Structures are given as C-alpha cells and as structure tokens.
Amino acid sequence: MTQNIKDLLVVDIDDSILITANIISEERIKHEYDRFNLPWEERRLKIRAGIISELIFSNLLHGHKIPYLYYFVIGQYDKGFDFRIGNSKIDMKSTLFESRGKNVDACLSVIFNKFNLFTLFFL
C-alpha cells in the first residue's frame, strides 16, 4: 500500500505519556533480551519509543471508543502482539533514527521509502 503525506496522523505527545514511558522503560530494560548488543541507554531509549507508540495508540483507540485489549508485559515474553481488536492482533513497531539537522521532507522520505511505516514521532 503506497502512502503519502495525507495519510499521516500527527499526534502531540502528552507529557504524562513521556513520564510514564520513562518510568516503564527503566523497569522493562532489566528484563529485555539484548538483541543488538547496544549500550544500556540506547536500548532504554528504543524501549521507551515502543512504549510511547503503544500508549499513543491506546489513547487513540480509547478516544474513538474502539474496544480493545492491550497486552502490556514486563518481565516475560509477550504473546507476539500488543493489542487485540476483535479477532485482529496488532503488534506495534517503532524505530528511532537521527533527525536533527534534517527537514521534515527528508525524514518522511526515510519513513515512506525505506521503512514504509505508518507512524512518525519527533521527540
């Protein structure tokens, strides 16, 4: 499915989400498998980005009154997905990449052409 700028949903990240993600990432990193042999803080920031995306998605579903289950797991392996809406399973995927010094168009090019992602967060 080809995407373009009009497909983006821009969401302000509430301070409470950032605070919550910081707290949870500090605990979750203690239990996460180190897949890429990255430094501790870089791993924590990746975990934090994932938590932020899950919390934003949860808020969006709640705001649109869509019934869902959120499988929030710390300290054990998850079920392979983060959300369930009816019979559909949704596994959130997030990434961090260096955006300082780049304009929005350059970032969108990476998102659409390289990663083909549906969400974009500037923290």
What is the pLDDT confidence band of residue 67, given thresholds at 50, 70 and 90?
A: very high
Residue 28: what residue type?
Answer: R
C-alpha span between 120 and 123 (Å, rounded): 10
pLDDT in tens, 16-29: 999 999 999 999 89
Rounded Cα–Cα distance for residues 120 and 114 (Å): 13
pTM recorded for the entire structure: 0.75
Q: Helix (H, G, I), strand (E, B), or coil: what is residue 70?
A: strand
What is the three-class DSSP state of 34?
Answer: coil
Give 46's contacts (C-beta < 8 A, 6+ positions apart). Answer: 38, 94, 96
Query: How confident is the model over 102-117, as pLDDT tens digits?
Result: 666 666 666 666 555 5
